[in-house]
Chain A
Amino acid sequence: MTTTLEMPPRPAETTSTATPTTAHRQTLGRAIHSEWIKIRSLRSTWIGMATVVLVMIGLGSLSAAVSTGSVAAPGDGGGPLGGGGPLSTVLAGADFAVLLIGVLGSLAGAREYSSRMISATVAAVPRRWQVVAAKAIVLAAVVIPTALIGVMGAFGAGMGILSASDAATVALTDDGVLRSVLGMAGYVTAIALLGLGLGILLRSTAGSIGAVVGGIMVLPTVAGALLPDSWDTVLRFLPSSAASSFTTVMSAGDSTLSAGAGVAVLAAWVAAALGAAAFAITRRDV
């Protein structure tokens, strides 16, 4: 490494304007730009997103193939993969993709705490709520297309496999199908943001991954098994249950919320996590 003794020249903008602060005003838009540079310059972002797409399309195709019998099912025919109609067959990868995106969201939130980058970040953006807002916006901007590609890819590939074997299929134009497919993409995005909020809130990758995975996968199952039936009303408000109200084609009757209520409940979870993150990052020492 060579040492140069030259001094950094002043940027042109500051010499031409009265005060450096007018040209270099820090705005929410610039905070978003900064977070965009950060998210796109990490290879792990793109590996993670590619994995989410591959999981959705791969598992969806596999599930479709298994259900038509072109690939031998591990257990008896019509097992868990083939049980809920063509749509849930081809979206079989979604559950796993949701867990994966929860992990990626947690990493997006907690990563700067493990690298200590967060001190540089909040020194650059002292109105710290902007850091949370900017991170949420760019994460959504990356995850929404990823989720759409994933669900549409899984739908197209899966239905293709089903129709090639003359199995029953559904079209996007069928009643409720498009809503479920887009709903699944929305659910994936919501869980990414929930993970982001928890990552910032807990400042720990392990802790926030545990919280997201536990809250989505473990808690509903365990609570459903252990708690008396009277608790079912409460359990409907868990993120995964709320999401099932608009990601499945068939209404499950009383046991789930209406689609509109489900969207509202999930959005409330996301808002609560991001709001708590913004509150915490503003109040505590870095």
Chain B
Amino acid sequence: MIELQQLTKKYGDKVAVDGISATVRPGVVTGFLGPNGAGKSTTMRMIVGLDRPTSGTALVNGRPYAASRAPLAEVGALLDAKAADGGRTARNHLLALGATVGIGKRRVDEVLASVGLTEVAHKSAGSFSLGMGQRLGIAAALLADPEVLILDEPVNGLDLDGIQWIRALLTELADEGRTVLLSSHLMSEMQLVADHLLVIGQGRILADTSIEGFIEESSGGSRVVVASPDAGALARLLTGDGVVLTTREPGRFEVRDLTAAEIGDVAAEHGLRIHELTPVTASLESAYLELTRDRVEFTATAQHPARTDRTARTARPATDDTTKAA
């Protein structure tokens, strides 16, 4: 279990992580999704104490990671696949890290085998490809059989084979009741491995939802683009129970939770003109892109009077998720 409370990190004026509060639960794979520069790595580095929060706290199993008596046995982290001395062999790298918690040769060889690096165990880490470096980093994370795993972009540099392998591995680890947090900037990767999503943009949590919930919300909830010279009047008529309107430009808006037929009927009933009526089914990828782009737009034009509030559908309460049984 990882608990983040108002976690904030500033680099000078730059706010990299902006008051994040979230709980990463055991028993599921939680995907930490956000565009490059969103603050994923910074958040993860603060969880394992590499970077000091400007304010707020990050707790692992109820305490700060630095207070752990057996750090590597508590949290296994892959934060930087290149964080190994190029002059040392893969096996010696793991032996050195394992030694900090009394892990010896037998376990190191086991883990090397399980990540498929046995054949190159005696090769220097400097000669490794990015994918092999990722495997070595994953081996280091698994070394002391930790309850919590934190992997920063672990799929980066892996081939399809490797992606399938890591997917099976993470699912298995979560099924054993461990807490698994992995980051990515690609929805397509998350779709494959994550059960739960924590979407981050510009240092803030944009969504904290199960992946099913995210799919339901983005593609299940239908969206219709309406263009009309009578947009204002039509929008007023459509606004009602659970209907969300989004204005992007004058004379055009998007409607959620109403079908094109329903909108057309309302317009006809009141004699309003419609120039375009287009149902849109969003893919997960575009839903994610829209979510993170909205974040940027929203902060940039917050004062715009004509806008409808579009944060309502992004900020879901943290309790509103479906957690799989551990």
**Closest A residue, CB atoms, query B89:** A41
* Contacting residues of chain A (98-138) with chain B, CB-CB under 8 angstroms: 111-112, 115-127
* B315 at interface, CB cutoff 8 A: no
Interface centre among A6, A43, A117 (most CB of B within 10 A): A117
Closest to A23 in B: B102
Q: Which residues of B contact A284 (CB under 8 A)?
A: 52
Q: Which residues of A contact B80 (CB under 8 A)?
A: 116, 119-120
Interface string of A20-60 (1 = CB under 8 A from B): 11111110001101110110011110000000000000000
Least Cβ distance of B285 to chain A in Å?
Answer: 27
Q: What residues of B have a CB within 8 angstroms of the CB of A25 in the complex?
A: 69-70, 101-102
Of residues B45, B110, B145, which shows the largest number of chain A Cβ atoms within 10 Å of its Cβ? Answer: B145
Query: Does A34 contact B120, Cβ atoms closer than 8 Å?
Result: no
Write out the residue numbers on chain A whose beta carbons fall within 8 Å of the beta carbon of B96.
Answer: 34-35, 37-38, 41
Q: Kindly list chain A residues whose C-beta atoms are within 8 Å of the C-beta of B161.
A: 3
Check A286 for interface membership: any CB of B closer than 8 A.
yes
Given contacts A11-B144, A126-B66, contact A26 B172 (CB under 8 A): no
Q: Is A9 an interface residue (CB 8 A)?
A: yes
- How many residue pairs between the two chains, A and B, have CB atoms under 8 Å in the bound complex? 163
B99 touches A37 (CB 8 A): yes
0/1 interface trace, chain B 141-173, chain A, CB 8 Å (1 if under): 010111100000000000001101100110010
> Are B84 and A115 in touch, CB under 8 angstroms?
yes
CA of A42 to CA of B85, assembled, Å: 9
Interface residue? A230 (CB, 8 A): no
- The answer on a CB contact under 8 Å between A112 and B85 is yes
Interface size class of B (residues with CB under 8 A): 35 or more
B100 in contact with A14 (CB, 8 Å): no
Report the interface size for chain A: residues with CB under 8 A from the other chain. Answer: 49
B65 adjacent to A117 (CB under 8 Å): no
- Check A120–B83 contact: CB distance below 8 A: yes
Measured in the bound complex, the distance between the Cα atoms of B142 and A37 in whole Å is 19
Docked CA distance A4–B95 (Å): 21
Contact of A20 among B116, B132, B144, B165 (CB under 8 A): B144
Q: Which of B114-132 contact A (CB under 8 A)?
A: 114-117, 119-120, 131-132
Binds A, one of B71-79, B192-200, B253-261: B71-79
CB of B71 within 8 A of CB of A126, answer yes
Q: Which residues of A contact B85 (CB under 8 A)?
A: 38, 42, 111-112, 115, 117
Docked Cα-Cα span, A33 to B75, in Å, equals 21
What's the Cα separation between A38 and B69 when bound, in Å? 22
Decide: A41 and B88 in contact? CB cutoff 8 A: yes
| Interface set, chain B 258-305, CB cutoff 8 A to A | none
Some 9 contacts from A to B, beta carbons below 8 A apart, are A8-B114, A14-B145, A24-B101, A34-B100, A44-B87, A116-B84, A119-B83, A120-B80, A124-B72
Residues of A within 8 A of B (CB): 1-11, 13-14, 20-26, 30-31, 33-35, 37-38, 41-44, 111-112, 115-127, 284-286
Q: Which of B's residues lie within 8 Å of A, judged by CB?
A: 45, 48-52, 65-66, 68-75, 77, 79-80, 82-89, 92, 95-97, 99-103, 107, 110-111, 113-117, 119-120, 131-132, 140, 142, 144-147, 161-162, 164-165, 168-169, 172
Known: A116-B82, A116-B83. 9 other contacts (CB 8 A): A4-B113, A8-B145, A20-B70, A23-B102, A26-B68, A37-B95, A42-B85, A112-B85, A122-B50
